[in-house]
Amino acid sequence: MRALRLPGWKTQPELVDVDEPTPGPGQVVVKIGGAGACHSDLHLMHDFDAGAVPWNPPFILGHENAGWVHALGAGVTGLEVGQPVAVYGPWGCGVCARCRVGAENYCENPAAAPVPGGGGGLGLDGGMAEYELVPAARFVVPLPDGLDPVRAAPLTDAGLTPYHAIRRSWSKLPPGSTAVVIGVGGLGHIAVQILKATTATRVIAVDTRAEALRLAEEGGADLTLRSGADTAEEIRAATGGRGADVVLDFVGAEATMRLGAAAARTLGDLTIVGIAGGTLPVNFFSVPYELSIQTTYWGSRPELIEVLELGARGLVRPKTTTYGLDDALRAYAQMQDGTLEGRAVIVP
């Protein structure tokens, strides 16, 4: 079969021919219907060195995957060949306290996982191929009626990651509250939709690009602001001087983190999702009192089931552009130069 494989750190992916996978006991082979291209893949191609993560190339890219069950290994029950499914991306050990409740994104025994701290497309072969080998049936989640694999694929990360970040702050998003989304790209535009679908909060979207702010408006943002020197003051003015109850930073650069802290309300949440590598100095007087600052990584398997349901009901619809496997590198190039709107989905 044909596959898009990353041969090494700081290299371009290559289209190669590889053997079609065969499932072993407890494993599942998924025929890929859609594989999302993620901005984090660009970090794998351009930024990472050996030792940055506990796994190394070569491997097939694609950690946002959905399709149909193609083959079942011995002992697998509850799935049928031909059934539409999504693949849960973080592959943990399955037995630690976090994994037992489905939070394999926070596995506490990574040495016993299929690949420490990774998964398909992140150390092991992913979904930018005709088929993907999934090492355990628990990572395969049936799609609800009304949701096809192309629409489901980006929900497995670009939907699940903001959903998890928002869900943990639901208690701070009642009527009368304000949430700020910084960076309305592949994840941020879905975050706007999730906020509107699951909370009663007012949503303010912030970006440097006019087209991104238009995408935020399409998703239901109540106010859009072009990022600049006065953005924090504009957010405070729009909230009666109080600031935002929840700030979600989908960039993670120093400037956006400082904006988030400056715009946040006392007792609020500042959640850093983007991995641009910024830092935020914290001392007693530098942030609002009792502002909780945290990072998040992906989401849990039960949360993925909830996100897929939102997608099936049409409440969360990522803006996507589809590409064939031959055009995958063009999708990454558009992502790199900022001309990709929404999310790219590779359809092998």
Is 215 found in the same domain as 74? Answer: no
Is 55 found in the same domain as 122? Answer: yes
> Rounded distance, CA 46 to CA 53, Å?
14
CATH number of the domain bearing residue 110: 3.90.180.10
Is 202 found in the same domain as 130? Answer: no
Provide the residue range defining the domain that includes 276.
Answer: 162-295
Is 214 found in the same domain as 172? Answer: yes
Nearest to 301 by CA among 100, 132, 81, 152: 100
pLDDT digits (tens, 9 = 90+) for 109-153: 999 999 999 999 999 999 999 999 999 999 999 999 999 999 999
Nearest to 92 by CA among 125, 117, 57: 117
Is 189 found in the same domain as 137? Answer: no
Burial of 72 (0-12, 13-18, 19+ CB in 10 A): buried
Judge contact between 186 and 343, C-beta under 8 A. yes
Residue 257 reports pLDDT greater than 90: yes
Q: At which of 295, 311, 326 does a domain end?
A: 295
Is 334 found in the same domain as 280? Answer: no
Is 317 found in the same domain as 250? Answer: no
What is the number of structural domains in the chain? 2
> Which residues, including other chains, have CB under 8 Å from residue 135's CB and lie 6 or more apart?
26, 27, 91, 114, 124
Q: Mutual orientation of helices 188-198 and 210-218 as an angle, nearest 10°?
A: 20
pLDDT digits (tens, 9 = 90+) for 217-248: 999 999 999 999 999 999 999 999 999 999 99
Is 86 found in the same domain as 41? Answer: yes
pLDDT digits (tens, 9 = 90+) for 148-197: 999 999 999 999 999 999 999 999 999 999 999 999 999 999 999 999 99
Model pTM? 0.96
Is 194 found in the same domain as 107? Answer: no
Burial 301-324 (b: 16+ CB within 10 A, else e): bebbbbbbebbbeeebbbbbeebe
Is 152 found in the same domain as 27? Answer: yes
Is 7 found in the same domain as 150? Answer: yes
Is 200 found in the same domain as 122? Answer: no
